[in-house]
Structures are given as structure tokens and as C-alpha cells.
């Protein structure tokens, strides 16, 4: 395995150079190792809440760099702290978990790993959301910051977060005392691999950039009967079908067209046999919103539609649908506009300004948002790191589709993605840490 050059050698290499030149020199020596590190992570993804080996691998690297490392913090989370004099405190997060997806990329380093999930089911696993890239950029940035301590003053808190894919990891780390056992950060930053931007670019958006995501279960009741005697039933399959269609009118006819919302029915479960009308059917929905008032409106209309259809079928009140909306929604990600401006300026120093682009809001969700949704009101920004290989960019121009995140065919272009990420995040951190607290 390739190994990194010892830190004292890297520090010597960076003397008397601009910060950008220092980063270039460090990457010249580190990039091969980081790419190999990335491929090792890619080959062995661990599922949410089971990131034991992944977190240990990151913790070992950070200890070697001189960070004070706490392991098993909020599950398999890790907290890595480096203090270098008086100054601001900046939190930088990576997530660590993979997905239960069978990889179909045919890469030489494709994952063939499998493991059991929390339900005891065996799954093939894949880093189909780019968390392996997130971790590699995180480590590469830590290498830079440890080797360039003359350039900054303050405290770095690098966290490795578990269970992002199930929306639980950030809350686990905060509940474990991230903002009470460690300094409350002045800023929180993170990145996410983009399946749309070419490798070498980064994308920033202001304000709401990712949505609240929540799951809703609706259990629809009826009276079962023989399939040959539908008149003796109140058919919940028909009621479910009516409900699916009516739910589509919430966004099109109830939500202000200027606002954003999604109501998707992702699953219907009911019945056992061709000629049996069942007693009940279950719908599973995902809702996506930015604003709380829109979210509340969706909840209200779902209940009204569900109960209204039951009434129209002549069902008594004790047969009205059961609607379960857990209070576990991932909050929307809000990028602090002032911090975005500062980070865009930093990114434009690290790479060509033409490669720093605007990123439109998306209805996907990310629990990084929780780090800014506490009473401490930490300004946070999550930006997009371009990862799409050149050949796929060309193919897209010819009308071919580019694999999305969570696709078994998604993969980043390692070298330019790592290099761009390390340059941009390192510059952001140094610039944020260059201001002195009053």
C-alpha cells in the first residue's frame, strides 16, 4: 500500500510558499495515496450504524496527524480536534455509511462487499452516494491543515458522522454532546458529491438548498369479500387507488405555485390473491418541503383526503384510515448567505473562478442540516463537489443520461474530484480561521 510522506517532511516542503502553492506541493506528494485510500473505502462500504471498520480507519489516520480523536461518539461517529492558538472554531463534517445497493459500474475497484443490516438481512453494499469521496477529501484536507499550521489560528473539529443515509447520524452526534463536550463552532461546513457537475467544479447555493424529508404511512381499511362478489365489500384497493390520484392534487391545486413541495407514493401493499378483496391496504409516501407552513399544509390535506374518501365509501369513523407521520423529519438544509459568499470567494482562489458555479435547490435531503438547526444557530453551508467523469459529460451532451446518486452505475472521477475538494475546503478553512475572534 502507498503511504503518506511523514508530516515533518511535508511541513518542510511548504515553507516560504503561498498557501495555494503549499497545497499544490502537498497534493503532488499525497494524491496517489489519497486515490488509493478512496478505492479501498469504495471496495468495502459499511451500512448505516455499522461503520465500525470505516470509522476506525479514519480515526487511525487522524491520530497520526496529531488530532485528538474520540471514537464511538454517537454510534460509530468520531470527533477529531486540533487546536492551534486562539481563533475561530470551524466544524467540518464527513459522513461514512454506504448503501444496500449492488454495484454495477464494472470498475476494477468495484465493491463486492456484503453485510447484514439492522434487520438481519444480508445485503450487497455500495458507496453509491459518494461518501467514500467525502471521507477522502476530508482526510486530504486534514493532511493539509496539519502541515500548514503557520497559516491559521483557531480550532478545527473534524467529525466523521455515521448513519446519514437513514437521517439519524447528525442527531446521534448532537445528542451525544457534540456542542456541549466540544466547543460550539463559529462555522460548520460540509460537501456532497454531485452527480451532475463535472469533476473539477464546485457548486454553491444560498438559503434553502435541500428539503425536509419525511415518511408517511397510510393504512386504508375496508370490508373484504370474494373477488366475484365485489358488491359485498368496501374495496380498500379501489380506495387506495382513488387516494393515490387525489394526493397528486395537493401540490398541483393546494400549494402556492411559487412554493416547492413533493408528494410521492412510493409503495402500495395489500392483498394476497387474485380473487380475494382484502380488508386493508397500506400506502407509503415521501414528502419534501422547504418551509414549515407548506409542510403543515401537506399534512392537513393528506388527512382531509384520506378521511374524505373513507366517508364517500360509507365507512364508519372507526374505519377511517390510520395516518402515521413520525416526528422524525430531516430538517431542510439552509446555507447561510453570508457564509456562502465567503466560501465562494475562497473557492475562487483555490480553483478557477469559472469552475465555481451556482447550484439550484434540490428536493433531496441531508441531515447535515441539523448542525445549523440547534439553539446555538451555527452558520452552516453544504456545497456540491463535481464528480462526473469527462466521458460522461460528453455523453450527456449527446443526450445520454448521467447516473444519479444511489444508482448502481454512479461513480466519481477520483483524481480530479479529490484534488478539487481538498484545494477548495483547505482554502475555505484557512480563510475562516484567519479572522481573529474579538
- Asked if pLDDT for residue 120 goes beyond 60, the answer is yes
State in Å, rounded, how far the first CA of the chain is from the last one. Answer: 46
CATH number of the domain residue 283 falls in: 3.30.70.360
Same domain flag for 157 and 204: yes
* Rounded distance between C-alpha atoms, residue 343 and residue 331, angstroms: 23
C-alpha cell at 283: 400506502
Domain final position from 307, 324, 341: 324
Same domain flag for 203 and 217: no
- Asked if pLDDT for residue 337 goes beyond 70, the answer is yes
* Rounded distance between C-alpha atoms, residue 93 and residue 95, angstroms: 7
C-alpha cell at 69: 480523536
Domain final position from 324, 359, 375: 324
Listed residue (340, 349, 18, 112) closest to 208, CA to CA: 340
Q: Return the DSSP state at 186.
A: S
Active-site annotation, residues: 95, 165
* Rounded distance between C-alpha atoms, residue 163 and residue 154, angstroms: 29
CATH number of the domain residue 347 falls in: 3.40.630.10
Identify whether 249 is part of a domain.
yes
Query: What pLDDT band is residue 436 in, cutting at 50, 70 and 90?
Result: low
Task: Report pLDDT for 438.
Answer: 40
For residue 233, the enclosing domain spans 212-324
Query: What pLDDT band is residue 429 in, cutting at 50, 70 and 90?
Result: very high
* Rounded distance between C-alpha atoms, residue 295 and residue 166, angstroms: 20
Q: Residues 286-300: pLDDT tens digits?
A: 999 999 999 999 999
**Average pLDDT of span 397-416:** 96
Same domain flag for 62 and 16: yes
Q: Residues 370-381: pLDDT tens digits?
A: 999 988 899 999
How many domains is the chain built from? 2
Q: Residues 235-294: pLDDT tens digits?
A: 999 999 999 999 999 999 999 999 999 999 999 999 999 999 999 999 999 999 999 999
- Asked if pLDDT for residue 8 goes beyond 90, the answer is no
Contact yes or no for 402/388 (Cβ under 8 A)? yes
Identify whether 203 is part of a domain.
yes
Q: Return the DSSP state at 223.
A: B
Domain final position from 277, 308, 324: 324
- Asked if pLDDT for residue 310 goes beyond 70, the answer is yes
C-alpha cell at 374: 440547534
Query: What pLDDT band is residue 340 in, cutting at 50, 70 and 90?
Result: very high
Query: What pLDDT band is residue 130 in, cutting at 50, 70 and 90?
Result: very high
pTM: 0.92
Task: Report pLDDT for 30.
Answer: 96
For the chain, the residue count is 438
Looking at the chain, the whole-number percentage of residues with pLDDT higher than 70 is 96
Q: Residues 209-239: pLDDT tens digits?
A: 999 999 999 999 999 999 999 999 999 999 9
* Rounded distance between C-alpha atoms, residue 345 and residue 322, angstroms: 51
Q: 53: burial class by Cβ within 10 Å (0-12, 13-18, 19+)? A: exposed
CA dihedral 21, 22, 23, 25 (to 10 degrees): 90
Amino acid at each position: 500500500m502507498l503511504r503518506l510522506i511523514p508530516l515533518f517532511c511535508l511541513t518542510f516542503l511548504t515553507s516560504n510558499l503561498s498557501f495555494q502553492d503549499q497545497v499544490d506541493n502537498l497534493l503532488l506528494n499525497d494524491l496517489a495515496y489519497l486515490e488509493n485510500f478512496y478505492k479501498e473505502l469504495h471496495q468495502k462500504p459499511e451500512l448505516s450504524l455499522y461503520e465500525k471498520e470505516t470509522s476506525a480507519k479514519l480515526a487511525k489516520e487522524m491520530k497520526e496527524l496529531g488530532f485528538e480523536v474520540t471514537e464511538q461518539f454517537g454510534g460509530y461517529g468520531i470527533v477529531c480536534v486540533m487546536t492551534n492558538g486562539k481563533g475561530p472554531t470551524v466544524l467540518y463534517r464527513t459522513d461514512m455509511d454506504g448503501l444496500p445497493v449492488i454495484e454495477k459500474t464494472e470498475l476494477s475497484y468495484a465493491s463486492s462487499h456484503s453485510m447484514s443490516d439492522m434487520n438481519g438481512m444480508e445485503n450487497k453494499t455500495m458507496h453509491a452516494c459518494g461518501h467514500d469521496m467525502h471521507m477522502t477529501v476530508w482526510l486530504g484536507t486534514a493532511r493539509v491543515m496539519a502541515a500548514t499550521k503557520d497559516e491559521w489560528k483557531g480550532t478545527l473539529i473534524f467529525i466523521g458522522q455515521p448513519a446519514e443515509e437513514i437521517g439519524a447520524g447528525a442527531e446521534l452526534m448532537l445528542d451525544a454532546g457534540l456542542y456541549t463536550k466540544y466547543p460550539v463552532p463559529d462555522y460548520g461546513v460540509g460537501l456532497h458529491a454531485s452527480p451532475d457537475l463535472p469533476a473539477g467544479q464546485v457548486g454553491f447555493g444560498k438559503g434553502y438548498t435541500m428539503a425536509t424529508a419525511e415518511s408517511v404511512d397510510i393504512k386504508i381499511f375496508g370490508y373484504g369479500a370474494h373477488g366475484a362478489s365485489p358488491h359485498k365489500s368496501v374495496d380498500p384497493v379501489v380506495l387506495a387507488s382513488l387516494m393515490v390520484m387525489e394526493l397528486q392534487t395537493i401540490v398541483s391545486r393546494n400549494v402556492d405555485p411559487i412554493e416547492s413541495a413533493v408528494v410521492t407514493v412510493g409503495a402500495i401493499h395489500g392483498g394476497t390473491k387474485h380473487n380475494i378483496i382484502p380488508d386493508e391496504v397500506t400506502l407509503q409516501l415521501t414528502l419534501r418541503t422547504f418551509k414549515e407552513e407548506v409542510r403543515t399544509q401537506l399534512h392537513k390535506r393528506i388527512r382531509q383526503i384520506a378521511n374524505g374518501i373513507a366517508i364517500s365509501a360509507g365507512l364508519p369513523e372507526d374505519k377511517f384510515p390510520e395516518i402515521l407521520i413520525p416526528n422524525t423529519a430531516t430538517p431542510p438544509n439552509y446555507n447561510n448567505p453570508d457564509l456562502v459568499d465567503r466560501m465562494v470567494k475562497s473557492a475562487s482562489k483555490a480553483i478557477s473562478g469559472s469552475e465555481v458555479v451556482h447550484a439550484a435547490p434540490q428536493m433531496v435531503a441531508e441531515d447535515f442540516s441539523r448542525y445549523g438547526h440547534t439553539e446555538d444557530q451555527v452558520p452552516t453551508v453544504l456545497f456540491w463537489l463535481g464528480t462526473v467523469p469527462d466521458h460522461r459529460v460528453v455523453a450527456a451532451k449527446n443526450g445520454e443520461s448521467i447516473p444519479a446518486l444511489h444508482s448502481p452505475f454512479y461513480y466519481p472521477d477520483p483524481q480530479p474530484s479529490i484534488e478539487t475538494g481538498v484545494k477548495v475546503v483547505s482554502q475555505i478553512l484557512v480563510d475562516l480561521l484567519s479572522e481573529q475572534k474579538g
